[in-house]
Amino acid sequence: MLTTAEKARGLADLPPVQSDSLLQLIALCNADERPEKIDVGVGVWRDGAGNTPILKTIKQAEQRLVDSQASKSYLGGAGDKRFAELLRPILLGQHAGDDRITGLQTPGGCGALRLGFELLAAANPNARVLFGAPTWPNHPPIIRSVGLQAVEYPYYERGQGAIRFEDMIAALEDANAGDIALLHGCCHNPTGADLSEDQWREVVRVVSERGLVPFIDIAYQGFGRGLDEDAFGVRLMLDACDEVVLAQSCDKNFSVYRDRVGSLWVKTGSVETTATAMAHVSQIAREMWSMPPDHGAAAVHIVLEDPQLREEWLGELSTMRDRINAVRQRIASADPRLAFIGKQFGMFSMLPLSKEQVLKLRQDHAIYMADSGRFNVVGLSDAQIDRFTAAVVEALDA
């Protein structure tokens, strides 16, 4: 019999944990019974009526799966290889033929991030990861979870709606060769403040001259300016650097959020090194999730393989993008202090509100946005836009 002092530690000894702020926000909003509540928290696209419908093309693909899928037997650790082949030109453009670049299916963009950081940590455990603040709140915990040091530099000036580009360049100039630069490919989350083409050129120059490893998170391709335009930075980086890691997501641009559809891409200086890196990736993935879920990727595969469905999907993507940009313009025109929102891209912008002001909007107006002031522009239904804007302007006036 063990004495109290000898008692082994167990689950009862776990310390409390601060759960992810965005997941907390979903729960809080769901629990609010006020019918007029406005959910601009987590990033999901909504139509003018406030719904997140399944894309027609995905519905058709799912129907085909129901009708014709003969087996749900394992596909293997890389998941659906054809899915990755079909994504290749969409993401890589002119680099699609470069056989030093390989991709594999992951559970969402988050799975790709974790896998990519695991790979980079295995290659160089002393590398530091430089990230611009603010960033997606899950980035720093993922970086730390693989044992890498997360180093923050200022990226965005909230009150000005502007990128702190000189600070960003100074931080990258200051990094050590082998350090990792985490960058947002497009539709910056949480600020909507994307690098211009000239700024990308400068970032790519510094990253390649300093010998940094760029890791680009591209979760919203097609939601900003267009599929090719949104991949500008990715492709420019591939022009200049031998080692590039990309975390890609289809969750948003195919609207398959809960199905978790993403991919990890690795470029190295040679076909052989890429093969070795991917062998590591496969082993790490095996230890974490063994094999990625199939359903969503199988549906995306069908859409991209069929020329007609593919064309229709491009139309659906334009519709989603157009609504994002139309809501942006409407909000931007309501008050000069909101004009910056009209110049930004993707689902998110960040309001210059204190945490107290954000909480007050929650209490008084049932408006749910992240404590940081990040809000999902396209989370607003048409009927909610004016009420939301008026409440925000009132908060800014206070």
Number of residues that bind ligand LMR (CB under 6 A): 6
Cis, peptide link before residue 134, omega less than 30° from 0: yes
Considering the candidates 127, 252, 294, 395, report the single residue annotated as catalytic: 252
Decide if residue 189 touches ligand LMR (CB under 6 A): yes
Q: Which of 38, 39, 43, 203 binds ligand LMR (CB under 6 A)?
A: 43
Taking the complex as a whole, the smallest distance from the CB of residue 42 to ligand LMR amounts, in Å, to 4
In contact, 294 and 75? CB cutoff 8 Å: yes
Of 189 and 263, the one with the shorter C-beta distance to ligand LMR is 189
Decide if residue 135 touches ligand LMR (CB under 6 A): no
List the structure tokens of 64: 């085909």
Decide if residue 22 touches ligand LMR (CB under 6 A): yes
In contact, 91 and 117? CB cutoff 8 Å: no
Of 111 and 233, the one with the shorter C-beta distance to ligand LMR is 111
Taking the complex as a whole, the smallest distance from the CB of residue 70 to ligand LMR amounts, in Å, to 33
Taking the complex as a whole, the smallest distance from the CB of residue 269 to ligand LMR amounts, in Å, to 32
CA dihedral (311, 317, 323, 324) positive or negative: negative
Of 212 and 378, the one with the shorter C-beta distance to ligand LMR is 378
35 Rama class: left (phi>0) / alpha (psi -120 to 50) / beta? alpha
List the structure tokens of 329: 């313009």
Which residue in the block uniquely carries the two structure tokens 């044992």? 147
Extended beta strands in 85-157, E state: 101-107, 128-133, 149-154, 156-157
CA–CA separation, 114 vs 153, rounded Å?
21
Q: Which of 45, 83, 136, 254 binds ligand LMR (CB under 6 A)?
A: 136
For residues 334 to 373, the per-residue mask of contacts with ligand LMR, x marking binding by CB under 6 A and - elsewhere, is ----------------------------------------
Decide if residue 241 touches ligand LMR (CB under 6 A): no
Taking the complex as a whole, the smallest distance from the CB of residue 136 to ligand LMR amounts, in Å, to 5
Decide if residue 42 touches ligand LMR (CB under 6 A): yes
Of 42 and 391, the one with the shorter C-beta distance to ligand LMR is 42
Taking the complex as a whole, the smallest distance from the CB of residue 189 to ligand LMR amounts, in Å, to 5
Taking the complex as a whole, the smallest distance from the CB of residue 388 to ligand LMR amounts, in Å, to 17
**Alpha carbon separation from 291 to 74, 77, 266, 295, 332 (Å, rounded):** 8, 5, 18, 12, 44
Of 75 and 300, the one with the shorter C-beta distance to ligand LMR is 300
Of 297 and 302, the one with the shorter C-beta distance to ligand LMR is 297
Is 217 in the active site?
yes
Considering the candidates 121, 219, 285, 332, report the single residue annotated as catalytic: 219
Is 45 in the active site?
no
Is 200 in the active site?
no
- Long-range contacts for 319-323 (Cβ within 8 Å, ≥24 apart)? 320/45, 320/222, 320/223, 320/253, 320/255, 320/378, 321/222, 321/223, 321/224, 321/226, 323/45, 323/47, 323/48, 323/378
Decide if residue 396 touches ligand LMR (CB under 6 A): no
Decide if residue 222 touches ligand LMR (CB under 6 A): no
Is 72 in the active site?
no
Nearest to 149 by CA among 121, 191, 112, 111: 121
In contact, 303 and 58? CB cutoff 8 Å: yes
Of 223 and 340, the one with the shorter C-beta distance to ligand LMR is 223
Q: Name residues contacting ligand LMR, limited to 46-75 (CB under 6 A).
A: none
CA dihedral (40, 42, 47, 51) positive or negative: negative
Of 136 and 265, the one with the shorter C-beta distance to ligand LMR is 136
For residues 137 to 166, the per-residue mask of contacts with ligand LMR, x marking binding by CB under 6 A and - elsewhere, is -x----------------------------
Taking the complex as a whole, the smallest distance from the CB of residue 22 to ligand LMR amounts, in Å, to 4
Phi, psi of 130, deg, nearest 5: -90, 125
In contact, 181 and 130? CB cutoff 8 Å: yes
Q: How many CB atoms lie within 10 A of CB 343?
A: 14
Taking the complex as a whole, the smallest distance from the CB of residue 125 to ligand LMR amounts, in Å, to 27
Considering the candidates 39, 121, 127, 136, report the single residue annotated as catalytic: 136
Considering the candidates 217, 230, 251, 294, report the single residue annotated as catalytic: 217
Strand duo 244-249 + 261-267: pairing: antiparallel
Nearest to 158 by CA among 349, 383, 388: 349
For 337, half-sphere exposure in the C-beta direction (CA atoms, 13 angstrom radius) is: 14
Active-site amino acid positions: 136, 217, 219, 252
Residues binding ligand LMR (CB under 6 A) = 22, 42-43, 136, 138, 189
